[in-house]
Structure 1
Amino acid sequence: MGGLTERPAAGGAQRLETALLIRAYSAGLFPMADTREAADVFWVEPRRRGVLPIDGFHLPRSLARTLKQERFLHSHDLAFGAVIRACAEEAPGRAQSWINPTIVDAYSRLHAEGHAHSIETWDKDGRLVGGLYGVRIGAAFFGESMFSRATDASKAALAHLVARLRLGGFLLLDTQFLTAHLARFGGHEVRRGAYMAMLDRAVLQTADWARIDQDSGVVAGGAAGWGAVAAGAAGAAASGAVAGARAGRGLAEVPPALPAGRGPSGKRIVQLLSQTS
């Protein structure tokens, strides 16, 4: 799909237009960069596509136990910029990244337009410890990347995402490629023809990203926890702990305010994923 990128000036960074990105995803393509320092991106169209069944998602018992213990607080679209930057940074076992400045810029604009979303996982001290981001078109969600700074933090974010998609009536969760990690949750590969049939159907349907937030159980379950995180974050900021962490490894990404009910409780996530359709 040539012509999906523009270079605004000689030697300048490549720019991806959001409307063209939506067209590319709807046609089964997505962009990547060779490294986080690369100036250009290239388009990918896998012959075998990774998908994670929304209704057939496998929730491991250990993760269900972690969620029920409410070790994390869950939110969506509260710190998109922090999430995509964390996905691009170096981590144990991941020295490089395909997320370069062009990708960060394009998906940040997609987020501002309401087409890209993030899921965040916070610890009780108000630190961003896990999350993921992706693109939504119709009833399809295209997962891009995830990160974790605490045990089970990214897994908790994935469980939150699937619960959100299931309640919202989504039809497709595209993971691009299949990894051993995703296979543990029921992920599998499909051939391009089968994938395109799934994609064509999903992008033409409607789904409700915010349905889980309108559920009374979510709001009631989230309010007390978010209040505690907000109070803890305020105390940490007053003592200088948050600033110190940011100056160190950037472990604390505390927004100015953490509103109540911004995400489901861990128990609610388990409940939704345990229901049969």
Structure 2
Amino acid sequence: MSIDADDIVAVGGSLEPRVLVEAYRRGVFPWPIDGLEVLPWFCPKERAVLDFSFLHLSRSLRRELRKTPLRCTVNRGFDAVIERCAEVPRPGQDGTWITEELMDAYKEMHRLGFAHSVEVWDAEDVLVGGIYGVCVEGYFSAESMFHLTPNASKIALLYLVDHLREAGCDWIDIQVMTPHMKALGAIVLTRKQFLDRLARTRARGLRPFGA
């Protein structure tokens, strides 16, 4: 992630659920930085979102989705998903921003009904991909995903999109743009555009994961 000081809106504080929930309500998320002792909280000036109306699937991905033996579930293995997201190496990254403290905080958020996961399983019921994020008042912010087999993370994301669509949602927050998300049709909003969209979404009162 390329960091601009203006993207950071607060530093310090705790990762208690009440603090996290209030932060997400305001479009703010924690993201530790190596070498920085205090925890920074971000609301980027340029915010990447995946608007479902702009979702684009390549021909090869469509073929893969039609023939894949992989299957998806929701909230069956949240702890395992976040642990794999922290463990699986990523190109260009020496470590992970998912610290033990963050992991414990999001596991507690899951137990309280604010954090959710999609799991991807192979034919042997082995977890091979997944995605997790936070949902507050119908607004879903995707945090991280992983794959151990080709396209498993994309399959998890698309399953999440379908799940949210069924509940009336029409976009998700992906926080920062990546080549993978850009290829799927993600767009960048200004901070004001993003916060306006967030407010409209919260006002709709959607409950994509139940009460």
Task: Describe the SS at the equivalent of 1:143.
Answer: strand
For 2:11 and 2:151, locate their aligned partners in 1 and report how far apart those are by CA, in whole Å. Answer: 40
Shift of the alpha carbon at 1:208? 3.8
SS for the counterpart of 2:27 is: coil
In terms of Rg, which structure is larger? 1
Are 1:75 and 2:63 matched, yes or no? no
1:120-175 Cα shifts (integer Å, max 9, x gaps): 11111111110000001122110000001000000100110111111111143000
Do the aligned residues in 1 keep the contact of 2:12 with 2:39 (CA within 8 Å)?
no
Whole-Å Cα distance in 1 between the matches of residues 13 and 99 of structure 2? 14
Match of 2:51 in 1: 53
What residue is the counterpart of 1:179 in the other structure?
Answer: 178
Specify the code of the residue in structure 2 equivalent to 1:41.
Answer: L
Matched with 2:17 is 18
User: How large is the Cα RMSD of the aligned pairs?
Assistant: 2.0
User: What does the per-residue CA deviation read over 1:160-208, in whole Å, with 9 as the maximum and x for residues that have no partner?
Assistant: 0111111111143000001111001110111011111001111222224
Q: 3-state SS of the aligned residue for 1:201?
A: helix
Compare the two structures and name the one with the higher strand fraction.
2
What SS does structure 1 have at the residue aligned with 2:54?
coil
The worse-fitting range, judged by mean Cα deviation, of 202-211 and 183-192 is 202-211
What is the rounded CA distance, in whole Å, between the counterparts of 1:17 and 1:176 in structure 2? 21
* TM-score (norm. length: structure 2): 0.88
Amino acid in the other structure paired with 1:89: E
- Tell me if the contact between 1:90 and 1:96 (Cα under 8 Å) persists in the aligned partners: no
Aligned partners of 1:38 and 1:104: how far apart in 2? 18
Query: How many residues end up aligned between the 2 structures?
Result: 201
Structure 1 CA distance, aligned partners of 2:193 and 2:33?
28
Contact 1:74 1:121 in 2 (8 A): yes
CA contact (8 A) 2:134 2:142 kept: yes
Map 1:158-173 → 2, pairs under 5 A: 158-173=157-172
| Counterpart secondary structure, 1:52 | strand
Q: How does 1:1-277 map to 2 (within 5 A)?
A: 5-6=13-14, 16-35=15-34, 40-93=38-91, 94-210=93-209
* Contact in 2 for aligned 1:136/1:142 (Cα 8 Å): yes
Q: Are the structure 2 counterparts of residues 3 and 19 from structure 1 closer, same or farther at C-alpha, using a change threshold of 3 Å?
A: farther
| Aligned counterparts of 1:113 and 1:187: Cα–Cα separation in 2 | 29
> 1:55, 1:166 within 8 Å by CA — same for their partners in 2?
no
Q: CA deviation at 1:210?
A: 4.8
- Distance in 2 between residues matched to 1:4 and 1:19, nearest whole Å: 15
Name stretches of at least 5 consecutive residues in structure 2 with no aligned partner: 1-8
CA contact (8 A) 1:139 1:171 kept: no
Instruction: Classify the secondary structure of the residue corresponding to 2:204.
Output: coil
Identity of aligned residues (%): 35
Do the aligned partners of residues 46 and 96 (structure 1) sit closer, same or farther apart at CA in structure 2, a change above 3 Å counting? same
Distance 2:169 2:39 in 1: 29
Give the TM-score, by structure 1 length. 0.68
1:107 maps to a residue whose letter is Y
In the TM superposition, structure 1's runs of 4+ consecutive aligned residues that sit over 6 Å from their partners are: none
CA contact (8 A) 1:57 1:162 kept: no
CA distance in 1, matches of 2:16, 2:12: 7
Q: Distance in 2 between matches of 1:159 and 1:174?
A: 14
